[in-house]
């Protein structure tokens, strides 16, 4: 809006009469400070009001009238811009809310990190305990195997590889007093899937095979050392490869190792 249009709008009269809102008064004060012609118009309006009021006022001495007019003129000349009030309580409230949200977010993040650390520590503890249990079982198995090997009461029977697997070998540890039998199958290859090694105690005349056990879970036995069924009378031992679950009689075409007592 141009200065002329602003003056003619009537807003300056309302300003002088005090009929504007605080925001509107601030706007007029800013315009008066910026445009000298607007400020001059405000002074002119105030002078007109003073002149008009003097014609209706009780008689005043020329001296009093001059003093009153001087004060009015000075007051009109000083256009004081009003600074808008700031709602500090609202600002403080928003600031407190933001700080609260930041604090909650930080605490939540810390809680998540702590929970993750607890879970990781628990998993690591379970892993270590499992490894310790496995080591303890392996240690116990090794000690048992060594005790069998070192036992002078055991008869050691070497089983040599046969036609189907000439590179194979095995050992039988047989205590004739207790009749316990152990097999060292570390010289045998991993059996094919769906097949299992079967151990036989043999009488040679006539040839009579008796099954004394299967070497189950071959891939899970790290030492390849197995305890099988007891036997009290054997002249030889043999190991054949049979279908899972074993066979009633040995499959001679799959005879891997054989050895006499």
- The pLDDT, as a whole number, for residue 242 is 97
Are residues 178 and 206 located together in one domain of the fold? yes
Write the CB contacts of 223 (distance below 8 Å, at least 6 apart in sequence). Answer: 141, 142, 145, 186
Q: Which of 77, 106, 135 is the last residue of a domain?
A: 77
| Cα 2 versus chain centre, distance | 65
Report CA 190 to chain centroid distance, whole Å. Answer: 41
Considering only residues 55 and 158, tell me which one the structure prediction assigns the higher pLDDT.
158
Average pLDDT value for residue range 99-114 = 85
* Number of domains the chain is built from: 3
Q: CATH code at 162?
A: 2.60.40
Q: Which residue has the higher pLDDT, 235 or 84?
A: 235
**Maximum Cα–Cα distance across the chain:** 162
Assess whether 26 and 116 both reside in one domain: no
Helix 62-77 × helix 36-56 angle, to 10°: 150
Q: How much is the pLDDT for 252?
A: 94
Residue 69, CA distances (Å) to 15, 40, 41, 74 in order:
19, 17, 17, 9
pLDDT of residue 184: 97
Say whether both 66 and 91 belong to one domain: no
Looking at the fold, whether 178 and 235 belong to one and the same domain comes out as yes
Q: Is the peptide bond before 206 cis (omega within 30 degrees of 0)?
A: yes
Same domain for 14 and 107: no
Residue 45 — pLDDT band, cuts 50, 70, 90? confident
- Residue 254 pLDDT more than 90? yes
Q: 150, 170, 200 — which closes off a domain?
A: 150
Asked if residue 175 lies in contact with residue 155, where contact means CB atoms within 8 angstroms, the answer is yes
Q: Over 60: is that where the pLDDT of 20 sits?
A: yes
Residue that terminates a domain, selected from 77, 96, 120? 77
Q: Are residues 115 and 160 in the same domain?
A: no
Is the pLDDT confidence value at 216 over 70? yes
Q: Based on the domain organization, do 170 and 253 belong to the same domain?
A: yes
131 or 186, higher pLDDT? 186
Expressed as residue numbers, the domain containing 176 is: 154-260
pLDDT over 80 at 231, yes or no: yes
Predicted TM-score (pTM) of this structure: 0.51
Instruction: Count the residues in the chain.
Output: 261
- Say whether pLDDT at 97 is over 60: yes
**Residues 140 and 159 occupy one common structural domain:** no
Contact 210, 248 (CB under 8 A): no
Looking at residue 164, its pLDDT comes to 95
Is residue 34 located within the same domain as residue 72? yes
**Same domain flag for 184 and 165:** yes
- Co-location of 73 and 92 in the same domain: no
Same domain for 226 and 132: no
Work out the burial of residue 225: count CB atoms within 10 Å of its CB; fewer than 13 is exposed, 13-18 middle, 19 or more buried. Answer: buried
């Amino acid at each position: 809006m141009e200065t002329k249009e602003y003056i003619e709008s009537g807003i300056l009269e309302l300003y002088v009469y005090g009929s504007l809102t605080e925001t509107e008064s601030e706007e007029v004060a800013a315009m008066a400070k910026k445009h000298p012609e607007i400020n001059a118009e405000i002074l002119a309006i105030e002078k007109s009001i003073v002149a008009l009021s003097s014609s209706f006022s009780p008689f005043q001495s020329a001296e009093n009238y001059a003093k009153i007019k001087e004060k009015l003129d000075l007051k009109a000349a000083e256009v004081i811009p009003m600074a808008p009030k700031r709602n500090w309580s609202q600002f403080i409230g928003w600031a407190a809310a933001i700080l609260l949200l930041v604090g909650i977010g930080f605490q939540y993040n810390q809680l998540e990190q702590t929970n993750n650390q607890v879970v990781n520590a628990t998993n690591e503890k379970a892993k270590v305990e499992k490894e310790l249990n496995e080591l303890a079982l392996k240690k116990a198995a090794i000690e048992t195997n060594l005790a069998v090997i070192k036992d002078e009461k055991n008869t050691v029977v070497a089983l040599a590889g046969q036609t189907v697997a000439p590179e194979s070998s095995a050992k039988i540890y047989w205590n004739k007093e207790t009749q316990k039998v152990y097999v060292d199958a570390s010289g045998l290859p991993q059996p094919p899937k769906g097949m299992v090694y079967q151990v036989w105690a043999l009488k040679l005349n006539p040839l009579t095979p008796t099954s004394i056990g299967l070497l189950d879970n071959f891939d899970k036995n790290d030492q390849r050392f197995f305890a099988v069924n007891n036997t009290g009378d054997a002249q030889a031992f043999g190991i054949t490869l049979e279908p899972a679950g074993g066979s009633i009689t040995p499959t001679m075409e799959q005879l891997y190792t054989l050895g006499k007592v």
